[in-house]
Amino acid sequence: MSLKGIRTNDKHIKNLANIVEGNRSILYKKEDLLAYDCDGFTIHRRLPRAVVFPNNTEEVAKIVKYCHEHDLPFLARGAGTGLSGGAIPLNGEVIISLVKMKRLISVDFENRRAVVEPGFVNLKLTNSISDKGYYYAPDPSSQYCCTIGGNVGENAGGAHCLKYGVTTNHILGLEVVLPNGEVIEIGKDGIPDAPGYDLLGLLTGSEGTLGIVTKITVRILKNPEAKQTVLAYFDNVADGSQAVSDIISAGIVPAALEMMDQIAIEAVEAAAFPVGHPKDIEALLLIEVDGISAGIDEQIHQILEVCKRNHVREVKVAQSEEERARWWANRKTGFGAMGAISPDYLVQDGVIPRSKLPEVLNRIHEISREYGLRIANIFHAGDGNLHPLVLFDARKPGETEKALKAGSACLQACADAGGSITGEHGVGIEKREEMRFIFSDEEIAAQTDIREVFNPKNLLNAGKLFPTPGRCLEVKKEEKSVTAS
């Protein structure tokens, strides 16, 4: 039987194909599925059962209901740029790809909000509203291709989140298909601070384990009247770190405050967007301030003073929008640039109190020596969000495992410094065990119990986010009362 040209004996694939309007509704052949066996975290791979491409909420709900009724594991996928493996079909899931749901539904300039479908690309939103003087703040480095639905799932950050906050601070409403196929709306009409429990916050950053977002109301911001960007080169990391600290202490809230270390500079200068950074400096700061023109000059003056006080070798202010854009392209392609100096790399994502920056960077250098692997650092210094990039060669036996261990050791260092194991990339499958660095069993159980409410059959993106499979609520309660008495 050939339905829509589909040739397979898998009745579920035929039935799922039938749910979706149009012809390019499903992929199921091995050669087509290969592109979906991992996301931006490429170290683990598994083929999905199929990839379905719904056109609208109704179709998503029908697909989910079908999976729910037939006990088929399933998960949602946006652009697949996630860095912690959240979209990898660990259990041979049916992948629900949201790339066809990419409409900008509406923009309400007066009340500063826009409604998009989950497959809408992050940067397209800013591009669509910039002529009216507005933009969308969260700017992950992958913003030219990542989707806002994926950003919601991972609570994505970005360089400018220091001043403007991460994705969760910009989400006003969600339409969600629950794991049983029911559709609910959260954050009615985009009004913030709705009564009741903060389901908006709960869903945002839940890494696709509680529901599938099908419509998103986001906050849009008025473009700042002015922005200025500073590039500063330091001979040593300690001076650069102190400058970061001093800028914040001065009461300045930069829009962005990024740092790159020497290995990172080597990589970005060898890659697609070199800007001529000196290669013998230990640290580079990229600092941006924005706001009303009158205040900017004074802030830039203060920043230059702070840099000088901390023995900066060279510091300059971008002289044109073109120069600013080049500096940012150099920074934002930094992860990919590692390819220019290493066959493989593993990016980590830890958070530390800003004051612990020098201490933790030292520890990362030690880890690098211990494991005999180079570790580059490109990161959001202003909010203490580190990105150690462990360079390795997967072709060498055992080196992948060594890289994973070195990455984990970096996260342990962050946790030991009173920090956290992810700032914006999520836990996915990559950091499941590292959750134990910061959460007790009880604290993890409090979370898996919540998953149980939304996702009782655990068919939706199972095996992600937590170190152990969620235990049944009732069993847990019994176990506890036994130990308590």
Residues within window 104-143 making contact with a second copy, judged by CB under 8 A: 108, 110-112, 133
Pick the closer one to a second copy by CB: 18 or 169: 169
Interactions with a second copy, residue window 15-34 (CB under 8 A): none
Pick the closer one to a second copy by CB: 65 or 365: 65
Q: Using CB under 8 A, pick the residue from 32, 401, 477, 479 that binds a second copy.
A: 477
- Least Cα distance to 356 among 307, 419, 421 occurs for 419
Pick the closer one to a second copy by CB: 135 or 371: 135
Q: Using CB under 8 A, pick the residue from 191, 272, 325, 394 that binds a second copy.
A: 191
Q: Using CB under 8 A, pick the residue from 194, 304, 317, 404 that binds a second copy.
A: 194
Pick the closer one to a second copy by CB: 149 or 190: 190
Interactions with a second copy, residue window 245-284 (CB under 8 A): 245, 248-249, 251
Pick the closer one to a second copy by CB: 25 or 84: 84
Q: Using CB under 8 A, pick the residue from 32, 443, 478, 479 that binds a second copy.
A: 443
Interactions with a second copy, residue window 280-319 (CB under 8 A): 291-299
Min CB(248)–a second copy separation in Å: 8
- Report whether 200 contacts 173 (CB < 8 A): yes
Q: Using CB under 8 A, pick the residue from 39, 290, 399, 424 that binds a second copy.
A: 424
- Least Cα distance to 334 among 277, 412, 402, 408 occurs for 277
Strand partners, 380: 258, 385
The torsion of the CA quartet 433, 438, 442, 447, rounded to 10 degrees, works out to -70
Min CB(5)–a second copy separation in Å: 32
Pick the closer one to a second copy by CB: 149 or 382: 382
Pick the closer one to a second copy by CB: 7 or 480: 480
Pick the closer one to a second copy by CB: 313 or 436: 436
Residue 478 φ then ψ, to 5°: -65, -50
Interactions with a second copy, residue window 358-417 (CB under 8 A): none
Inter-axis angle of helices 473-484 and 441-454, nearest 10 = 150
Pick the closer one to a second copy by CB: 89 or 205: 205
Q: State yes or no: residue 83 binds a second copy (CB under 8 A).
A: no
Min CB(292)–a second copy separation in Å: 5
- Report whether 218 contacts 204 (CB < 8 A): no
Residues 6+ apart with CB under 8 A from 262: 279, 280, 281, 282, 283
Min CB(465)–a second copy separation in Å: 7
User: What are the distances in angstroms from CA 246 to CA 241, 251, 253, 440?
Assistant: 9, 9, 11, 35
Q: Using CB under 8 A, pick the residue from 157, 179, 254, 388 that binds a second copy.
A: 157
Min CB(402)–a second copy separation in Å: 24
Here the contacts of 12-17 (C-beta below 8 Å, separation 24 or greater) are 12/49, 12/50, 12/66, 12/70, 12/72, 12/94, 13/49, 13/50, 15/66, 16/50, 16/52, 16/63, 16/66, 16/94, 17/52
Q: Using CB under 8 A, pick the residue from 10, 21, 32, 182 that binds a second copy.
A: 182
Residue 342 φ then ψ, to 5°: -155, 140
x/- binding map, residues 44-73, to a second copy, per CB under 8 A?
---------------------x--------
Q: Using CB under 8 A, pick the residue from 57, 151, 229, 422 that binds a second copy.
A: 422
Q: Using CB under 8 A, pick the residue from 27, 114, 166, 403 that binds a second copy.
A: 166
Interactions with a second copy, residue window 221-240 (CB under 8 A): 222-225
Q: How many residues bind a second copy (CB under 8 A)?
A: 89
With residue 218 as reference, give the H or E element that holds it: strand 212-219
Percentage helix, strand, coil, to 5, in the chain?
40, 20, 40
Q: State yes or no: residue 475 binds a second copy (CB under 8 A).
A: no
From 144-152, 364-372, 390-398, 444-452, span contacting a second copy (CB under 8 A): 444-452
Residue 261 φ then ψ, to 5°: -100, -175
Place of tokens 């056109």: 55
Neighbour tally for 177: CB within 10 Å: 26
User: What are the distances in angstroms from CA 68 to CA 60, 65, 74, 201?
Assistant: 12, 5, 9, 25
CA distance 50 to 399: 32
Min CB(22)–a second copy separation in Å: 26
Interactions with a second copy, residue window 320-349 (CB under 8 A): none
- Report whether 152 contacts 171 (CB < 8 A): yes
